[in-house]
Amino acid sequence: MAVNCTAVRDRAVPLLHGQNLGALTAASSDDIFLSFNLGAEELAKLRLFGQVATPAVTSGNPLVAAPTRHVATLYAAWLAAGTWARLPRISRARLEALDPAYRTRTGATPTHLVEELEAGAMRVYPTPTANLTLLLIYLERRADVSTGSPTLAAEPPVADYLLYRAIGDARRRNADEGMADVAAFCDEQAQLYAALFRAYSGR
Amino acid sequence: MTFSAMRTEVLRRLGENPSTPVWYTAAEAGEALNEAHRLFALAALSVEKTATIALPAATPILASRPLLAAMLAPLRIYTAAGSRVRPASLETLAGRDSRFLNAEDEPRFYALVGGLLIVTPQPAAPLDLSVTYAASPTDMAADSSTPEIPDEDHGALIERAFYTLVSVKEGASRRTEAEPAQQAFVRAVEARAALVRSRALSMDYDTQPFELGRYFNGR
């Protein structure tokens, strides 16, 4: 199931008082797609977009690049003798308290995963002495949509959420034209959809 | 009520002549009705579908979106043998068994997160699962098409379509006038959700409808 964001943009045109996309003054097509992408980033935080990755960890190097568009790891495991063994996540501060030499500690069996996302990486502890395969179940941000790539894999009501986000953003830019109340209305509708998505995506 | 009749009624409510609308178009009325239809089904979980999905052997994680079209929430999952597969959070599954992704047996639990269906234990051989789920309705397009929600709720879609079009295109000037229409929509959703909730309890469903009335009362 996918949302065609070009169709959603076209729905926005008359609602923004445009006769057609070219004549639209409240927002450009790029503005509308920007709102879609900002909205999709918010949806990522509501656990709407899950993904699986199996990155390889090289012996002697504890760091592995975080998957592209990674938001948060939900579950991590490593492949131990053909079975996935859980790799609990731990904060860097807690690991440092447990083992001040955690950066240089080596071992054959990884016990923890530290998300060093400011560096776009994840650290396996202790530093593995053999090559490993990880399994990550994580939340991701979707790739940006654009006129050339307008499809967002999501359920149909997501289209309505994105529509309200785009109209709200456009009307906020034109708030001096008396459209602030429309922006507020659209924000309320987007919040309602977000509450609904949150209610059903928690499992 | 047909899509055509509903569009006509929305245009009338907006003060348009349905055969020669000026400020609003029939297409806009149709889009607003479809949006109301989706929102109704999302809030009340009132459109139910059942599908059979083939679970491959040794595959505990599946992408659910290609398998279960327009699924909003899972309601009940059974194996082909008739055993219930119960919902659990991913955290609970991991907490119960640190190697839950390897366990082989008839599936007993599932987690659904971000379009990923995680089943454990995983079957040793391919297995069918029967999934009953709340779905987003198919858009109405043909004049003769009708909503997938019950007949007695069709009027609520007209109320919501009127409310959203007026609020987005005309702003505060007519929004106050349209507030009763929104309240009528919310009441209809809540009434339907109460029936769905009762049915969900009796059927031991995994997901209950959203409390829309409570959401608005809490704001």
What is residue B173's predicted lDDT score, i.e. its pLDDT? 82
pLDDT value at residue A177: 64
**What percent of chain A clears pLDDT 70, i.e. is strictly above it?**
97
pLDDT band of residue A202 (cuts 50, 70, 90) is: low
Number of helices (H) and strands (E), helices first, in chain B? 6, 7
Q: Which residue of A has its CA nearest to B41?
A: A157
Q: What is the pLDDT of residue B17?
A: 93
In angstroms, what separates the C-alpha of B80 from chain A's closest C-alpha?
23
> Do the chains contact at A49 and B169, CB–CB below 8 Å?
no
Question: What's the half-sphere exposure (Cβ side, CA atoms, 13 Å) at B6?
Answer: 32
Which residues from chain B sit within 8 angstroms of residue A74, using beta carbons? 90-91, 113
pLDDT category, A175, cuts 50, 70, 90? low
Neighbouring CB atoms inside 10 A of A188's CB total: 14
For the cut 90, the answer to whether the pLDDT of residue A81 exceeds it is: no
Q: What is the pTM of this model?
A: 0.94
**What ipTM goes with this model?**
0.95
Residues of chain B with pLDDT under 50: none
CA–CA separation, B3 and B11 (whole Å): 12
Mean pLDDT over A171-191 rounds to: 86
Residue B103 has a pLDDT of 86
Tell whether the model's pLDDT for residue A178 goes beyond 80: no
Q: Which of A14, A155, A200 sits opposite B207 (nearest CB)?
A: A200
User: B162: which residues sit within 8 A by CB, 6+ positions away?
Assistant: B10, B13, B14, B32, B178, B181
The C-alpha of B217 sits at a distance from chain A's nearest C-alpha, in angstroms, of 13
Side chain identity, residue A69: R
Mean pLDDT of A170-185: 82
